[in-house]
Amino acid sequence: MTTVDPAKERAGADVAESYRRVRALTEQLAEKLSPEDQCIQSAPEVSPTKWHRAHTSWFFECFVLGPHLVGYEQFHPWFGYLFNSYYETVGEHHPRPDRGLLSRPGVAEIARYRTHVDREMIRLLSEQPGTDVAELVELGLHHEQQHQELVLMDIKHVLSQNPLGPAYAELPTPSPTAAEPQEWVHHPGGLVEIGHDATAFAFDNERPRHQVWLHPFALASRPVTNGEWLAFIDDGGYQRPELWLSDGWATVQQHGWRAPSYWHQVDGTWQVFTLAGSRAVNPAEPVCHISYYEADAFAQWAGARLPTEFEWEAAATDRPVSGRLLDQQALHPRPAPETGGLQQMFGDVWEWTSSAYLPYPGYQAPTGAVGEYNGKFMVNQHVLRGGCCATPPGHIRTTYRNFFPPAARWPFGGLRLAHSG
């Protein structure tokens, strides 16, 4: 007679419920899009929506179902090649810049693939899987939440290329308001603990927890606003090489940047393309879709600097991890609320830091293929902190380290100023 462990049974049910909830949100985000919308790749770094839906299913198929569900039958022998992103240790993969060339499999077949994987995953989770499987499933769910943000980032770029300016969703447009005054919030510095303590889920790049010495510093009470960025533009910020890092200035010249991504002028008035279509730039909203190079140049212009990721984490440690995260009635940064102290540390916009994306002291990548998840990207990237308006709730943490190349502008990236002393 088989004995059922009630604790393991409850734990399995909790994991299964989390699995259903996360997977359902991906489909909810995609259902606003036509099959044609879901096939387009508008830049090498942008992936089609249907690819995200398939890749996140492949992740569970490759790392969970194949190794751990006895008798699992692969949905399609070629999907491992088509929807593997960069895991070299599990086989070859289709080139990233060519994902938009795949008219087939179509959206309907991708839906069948997701249904197949979901059915088998629920069957596996009903069998009271061990701790190793539960941890892989948790990693897969956080991985899918990352791709939920990418679905919104990428479709925004796709739709912005259409001269019709189509909206992803009909969303309310808040009335322009005056920005809250920027204040400086001081931190005494000293010896601080940085990184995750491993008591709950975290990505490997957030560990190990370690000590860092900080000199006294101050952070701006809120992110930089569109109105402040307009002043930077009007003062010739994009034409003044003395403000820019050398590589940043070369990038500005190469691409002809004169404003944040998605900004354009109509009859002399600045407009911004959003997931709800184009509208006038709201001066009180946090500036968004800027590169690290632009953030650094603005900080130079403002007589300040960007915070290090350690300063950011130390300042955010006592703040509640809440804010304007993935709200499907907004999907765009909103002005700072009328409160004192540090505002908008979580949500609205990712905040560029001055820190290069490097391993923490004592970092070791996990063994096996999942060890390729983060560690191999620790070069030529900068760290962003805090989440944004497209980050799913429950996914962000104070210790969370996002990272992108310094020229990246399609993420929901903004900045918060800092100074020493």
Q: Are residues 154 and 193 in the same domain?
A: no
Residues 164, 159: Cα–Cα separation, whole Å: 9
> Domain residues for 56?
6-160
Tokens 């690290």 identify what position? Answer: 292
Q: Does one domain contain both 156 and 189?
A: no
Q: Are residues 232 and 116 in the same domain?
A: no
Residues 217 and 364 in one domain: yes
Strand partners, 352: 384
Same domain for 243 and 144?
no
* 415 closest CA partner among 297, 316, 330: 297
**341 pairs with which residues across the strands?**
none
Residues 222 and 366 in one domain: yes
Residue 2 is predicted with a pLDDT of 42
Strand partners, 184: 220
Single out the residue of 163, 170, 415, 121 nearest to residue 287, CA to CA: 415
- Work out whether strand 217-220 and strand 184-187 pair parallel, antiparallel, or are unpaired: antiparallel
Residue 169 placed within a domain: no
Q: Tell whether 140 is covered by a domain.
A: yes
**Residue 174, domain member (yes or no):** no
pLDDT averaged per 10 residues, the chain (length 421): 51 86 98 98 98 98 96 96 93 96 97 98 92 95 98 98 96 84 96 94 96 98 98 98 98 98 96 97 97 98 98 96 94 89 97 98 88 88 98 97 98 98 85
Residue 1 has a pLDDT of 41
AA identity, residue 158: V
User: Residue 19 sits in a domain of what CATH number?
Assistant: 1.20.120
State pTM to two decimals.
0.95
**What is the number of domains present in the chain?**
2
Do residue 254 and residue 382 come from a single domain? yes
Residues 306 and 350 in one domain: yes
d(CA 150, CA 391) in angstroms, rounded, equals 9
Residue 179 inside a domain? The answer is no
Q: Do 26 and 65 belong to one domain? A: yes
Tell me, what CATH number does 217's domain have?
A: 3.90.1580.10
Specify the pLDDT at position 11. Answer: 60
Could you tell me how far CA 6 lies from the centroid of its own chain?
37
Residue 167 included in any domain: no
Dist CA 299 CA 244 (whole Å): 10
User: What pLDDT is attached to residue 368?
Assistant: 81
Torsion sign, CA atoms 71, 77, 82, 88: positive
DSSP output for 202-237? --GGG-S-EEEEE--EEEESSPPBHHHHHHHHHTTG
Cα 26 to Cα 150, 363, 391, distances in angstroms: 11, 32, 12
In a domain? residue 348: yes
Q: Would you say residue 279 lies in a domain?
A: yes
Is 287 in the same domain as 202?
Answer: yes
Same domain, residue pair 223 and 351: yes
153 and 199 both lie in a single domain: no
DSSP state of 305: B
Of 160, 192, 217, the position where a domain reaches its end is 160
Does a structural domain hold residue 222? yes
